[in-house]
Chains A and B, each alone.
Chain A
Amino acid sequence: MTMMEHAPRQIAVKVSPEGDKLITSGAHYLHMSKKDLVEAAVAFYLDARREEMQAGMRELLSELDGSRASRVAMLAGMTREELESVGGTDEDDLQ
């Protein structure tokens, strides 16, 4: 008796003719299947963009020093000096 093994379900992804040409030549160049190239490329791109997003957020977070003034200035999109020049915050207002 022959056992039929079910292949994992595959999903088609639509790309432009230019994109398909790039994937095809890239797969030939790297000696890998188009499917493997697309999956690896997407994971690589997402990781790169994630690192970019995290770096951007770290930069914003570095402007926050735990004080209320730093948070209010951040939310208002102004510098601490600008906030101070128009009255500053009540740091005791923490409860």
Chain B
Amino acid sequence: MTRRARPTLRCLREDLSLPLPHVDTPLDEIIHPLLAKVAERFADDQTPQERISAIDDEVLFKVKIQRWRGAAWVDEDIAWLVAAGKREEGSPEDFYAALAARGNAARARYNAEHSPPLSSATYSGHLLPGHEDDLRWRAEAAARTERQLRTTVLDLVRQTLLDGREHAAILDGAALGVQVLADQGHETYVAIRIIGSIPRRLVATILSLIPGCQSDAWMSDYAMPERAVAPEEQIWSNIMDPAAAAKLLDEQPSSP
């Protein structure tokens, strides 16, 4: 199994002192020697690892490169860098001893506020990936989906504007068809056909990407002029501003 290496947001900001990039940059693409080392060491399960023995509530592993020291926590798909620091030249303080001391203090605080108390010597739960890391993960996936959707939808609109026929593409197992009829009683009519079970949020995003359409004018249809709607098929229609259509045709298609 090939695992990706990512820092938790706390580790990125506080320990590595790196700025948080836009969600378009996945955190597993951040260039840092410690993250490169994590990626290398945890690429497969056969590589022997050294556990941080002074941390006993979670299994954290040592990661060392140059003067950098880190703690990695591994889940099924990702090796997380959950804490990091630099070994200072001539300093007697060991990063892992300091991490354990912070773990002891965190355990004391935890036990003061929770019942039953922890029986372990340390508490490291606050270092592990949490809610904001989950948000970041979902946002990165959504940014990738948005980019793909935008490219696909605009390309389909361009193609149908040129010939008036329906053009379709497959998106995450669903079929998306777009047809623009440019001369329907001096109006430009656009129909979107989606076949497959996809979330309504995805449908809304697709509709919002069609240029020149009023967002409150989308109509849902349960039948086509010549046939019934198929199972798991949905059809949305609207009137498109011809100026927006012309502008789209003047623009260069984007690369995915």
Q: Which residue numbers of A lie inside 8 Å of B, CB to CB?
A: 46, 50, 53-54, 56-58, 60-64, 66, 68, 71-78, 82-83, 85-90, 93-95
Q: Which residue of A has the minimal Cβ distance to B138? A: A76
B201: interface (CB < 8 Å): yes
Does B139 lie at the interface of the complex (its beta carbon under 8 Å from any beta carbon of A)? yes
Query: Which one, B76-84, B142-150, B176-184, is touching chain A?
Result: B142-150
How many whole Å from A12's CB to the nearest CB in chain B? 17
Is B65 part of the binding interface, using a Cβ–Cβ cutoff of 8 Å? no
Question: Which residues on the A side are within 8 Å of B20 (C-beta)?
Answer: 86-87
Which residues from 105 to 159 on chain B have a C-beta closer than 8 Å to any C-beta of chain A?
132, 135-136, 138-139, 141-143, 145-147, 149-150
A54–B217 Cα distance when bound, in Å, is 9
> Considering the chains assembled together, what is the distance between the CA atoms of A82 and B150 in angstroms?
22
On whether the beta carbons of B204 and A54 are closer than 8 Å, the reply is: no
Q: A56-B200, A64-B215 are in contact. Are A77 and B222 (CB under 8 A)?
A: no
B27 to chain A, nearest CB (A): 9
List which B193-234 residues lie within 8 A (CB) of chain A. Answer: 200-205, 207-209, 215-216, 218-222
A74 touching B139 by the CB < 8 A rule? no
The answer to whether B138 and A87 touch across the interface, beta carbons within 8 angstroms, is no
Residue from the set A66, A68, A74, A78 with the largest chain B CB neighbour count within 10 Å: A74
Could you tell me if B208 and A64 are in contact, using CB atoms closer than 8 angstroms?
yes
> Does B21 make an interface contact (CB < 8 A)?
yes
Across the interface, do B208 and A71 meet the contact criterion of CB distance under 8 Å? yes
* Cβ–Cβ contact A76 & B139, under 8 A: yes
User: Which 5 pairs of residues, A with B, have the shortest CB-CB distance?
Assistant: A76-B142, A60-B204, A75-B142, A61-B215, A86-B136
Contacts of B218 in A (CB 8 A): 54, 57-58, 61
**B132 with A75: CB separation less than 8 A:** no
